[in-house]
Amino acid sequence: MTGAVRANPELMPLGLEVRRLRDARGWSQEELAERSGLHRNYIGGIERAERNVGVMALLRLAKALELRPGQLLDAYSGK
């Protein structure tokens, strides 16, 4: 039996930034998933700070959002 996945506070800034950027474009999680080649459930897990995003997923998200990968991590520096 598996328990509920809990949000990781250290992942929260990235999750909030991905959601903010997705919302700013008027995209659903499904649309971002399609554009990035990631699963919609994975996008949701990122936004809820339940997923520790790997480098390849970060690169795919950045490309879909038309950003440099580092821009997604700017959420950690307050920029």
Query: How is the chain split into domains, by residue range?
Result: 9-73
DSSP string, 43-66: HHHHHTT-----HHHHHHHHHHTT
Using alpha carbons, select from 19, 56, 52, 15 the residue that is nearest to residue 36. Answer: 56
Across the chain, which has 79 residues, the per-10-residue mean pLDDT values are: 80 96 98 98 98 96 97 83
Q: Which residues contact 42 (CB under 8 A, 6 or more apart)?
A: 33, 51, 57
Name the pTM for this structure: 0.89
Classify domain 9-73 by CATH number: 1.10.260.40
Q: Which residues contact 52 (CB under 8 A, 6 or more apart)?
A: 8, 11
